[in-house]
Structure 1
């Protein structure tokens, strides 16, 4: 199978014929250079419901295929116990490396399973501050500041924020960017006006219900993901709340459907395919050259002004492609 000498031509041909009949695909020539390689990497997401993650998966699998790697995709449901099981499974499968978009602050023990197995990994978007590793993402704090500055420019004073899990470093950085920038502008966001929820539209609907049925509903809801914002918009539509006339909403991610003319969400655009490609490139470098020093790459984000924040949008304005 690996092209080594020591067997007859007839035996080799017979074994390859049987393997082909069973559907077995031998390693490609690249893997023969290092028979210890499986040519498989792991890709770990918090969920596969949020369209952000399939976008990243598209970028990673495309880059991996071009380099002769297959991708083992799994998700953790943002559950630390599940992540530990996933790490154990990836280690037992002897994958060559892992791209991890599901790390939470408290996941140090799970991540050390990979470290003990000498399997390199790259953090994508979020990380665990207790286990050093390579990182690809954006400057979430700066992006949070930027979109909140735009919200404040409208003159809103009744502002609420809704983010994903606070034990996600990216969600927490976004919330801090939102809240600290609002405070600098004289607007305090505290208590029930700061909500942490699941990273999907259902989380957004639940947050919107809590905020908009309160005694003092906000004028604007600043969200830490597009899918959360979509859930807020769905709740508003179901209850006859006009956006942005009665409620302004902003998102964060820049997903294609959020930027479409139908929704045209004011949001932060993350360069999704670039981040995924860079994460695989960083992992490939780490697999080829192990090292105890790590690097961090921050990709450039972009503020997209849509129609959900209250800005007038010209009919001919087209949202950019991410």
Structure 2
């Protein structure tokens, strides 16, 4: 019951939504039901094709909007508001009255609906409830005061077409084409480790060598780096930690080089000079990387500007040739195809 984001309405402006507080939370009219429309004097029965929970509209089968004759397009189905729909309960036999001395079988519709308390169904992941009619049109005398249960429509089972020449058969889909390697680790011994990636590649390029993987090599153990997202937060944090560790190792290396050759300096002065050289090296690397990025951006910008200028020049040339008018001169000859 949340509002539709604006980006969806901009992408598809045909979708119209009512306010969230005006939406119907529990729908009693679902696809497969038979309904009639309020205001229809003919009491025509319609079968519900689909529903739109955002606009509270009900689409019916067999009726299309008039004036939609676009070639190659499916005509849109007619839709009505939820408040105009009355559920069809069935044909009932009414007792004779003064106007009709003989009993008549007439269609009965639900004028007022009631439902049980919705309950969450964990198996299907939805809310379930029962619906019933508390008031009907016309009124049924022998059922007055009783609740007439309205069963939910039964969905037709899905039919699976026979496979054709380009379809995969069900037996082929169920066939097992990969058997995972069988490990039998013992608590008393060392857990066996899978062979390294180098051994796996060596086995692929040298099939005559003994295969340490058996009949079914564990290929998935070597794909976790390729299939993992390199831009995830964990990967970025790991790269940042690696960079921090590398900087600390560089700093320790500078400390060792300066402390090994003091040249009359104190230990404090040697460490300060080592830290200065370390910071200078880090800044030089950052500046070189920054210049490389600027060069790449400049190259891309230059190529885009040159391409735009070339397109503009070609467009102007085509425009000049299109608007070209030659003056009448004695050395001009009109082709035969263009002579009137």
- Band of TM-score, shorter chain: under 0.3
**Bigger Rg, which one:** 2
Q: RCO (CA 8 Å, sep 6+): is it higher in 1 or 2?
A: 1
Normalising by structure 2, what TM-score? 0.19
Q: Which protein has the bigger helix share?
A: 1
Normalising by structure 1, what TM-score? 0.20
